[in-house]
Amino acid sequence: MGLIANLDGIRNRYKLCFVRKPWAFFTSIPLERQWGDRWEAAPYETYAGDPYRDFSDQILTLAYDGPLFTPDKGIDRIACSALDINTGNAPWLRTESYTGGPPLAIMAGATLETFVQTVGLAGGCVFAPLGWADLANGQCAVPQPPPRAA
């Protein structure tokens, strides 16, 4: 059983700013103003911390699954910082085509709507916390993933 979420009100409000599988982080502030600990260090998966949250609805965190690779995985893996990715040097997530079909990429700054559509096209799913649709009215403190082990 699955639920279909209504993205009205927030479909373009949040932009992708960070990925740490299985979490995708979206910010409501301009991408160039969003930051986190050691986002300038490469490889990001080793050094970078989750995005800073200066107010309750600044960051929306969603879980995803599917055949999507972060920059450090797959055939075309590269070591880059979160800053490199957020300035467009690599996609946060991408597919690899082994059958000759077109690859899909999800770049920094992708809207929530684009993210959900692209993950779906790749054959994956996006999971949102209960009550998250209240964000459109500014009424919901978004549940966060457990802290990352040091």
pLDDT score of 142: 39
Instruction: Pull the structure tokens for residue 8.
Output: 């009205």
| Statement: the pTM of the whole predicted model exceeds 0.85 | no
- Could you write out the DSSP letters of every residue in the chain? ---PPP-TTTTTT-EEEEEETTEEEEESS-GGG--BTTTTSSSHHHHPPPBP-SSTTSEEEEEEESS-B-TTSSTT-----HHHHHTTSS-SEE---SSSPPP-EE-TT-BHHHHHHHHHHTT-EEE--TTGGGGGGT--PPP-PPPPP-
Q: How far is Cα 24 from Cα 50, in angstroms, rounded to an integer? A: 10
pLDDT tens sequence across 49-100: 999 999 988 999 999 999 999 999 988 889 999 999 999 999 999 998 776 6
Backbone angles phi, psi at 65, to 5 degrees: -145, 170
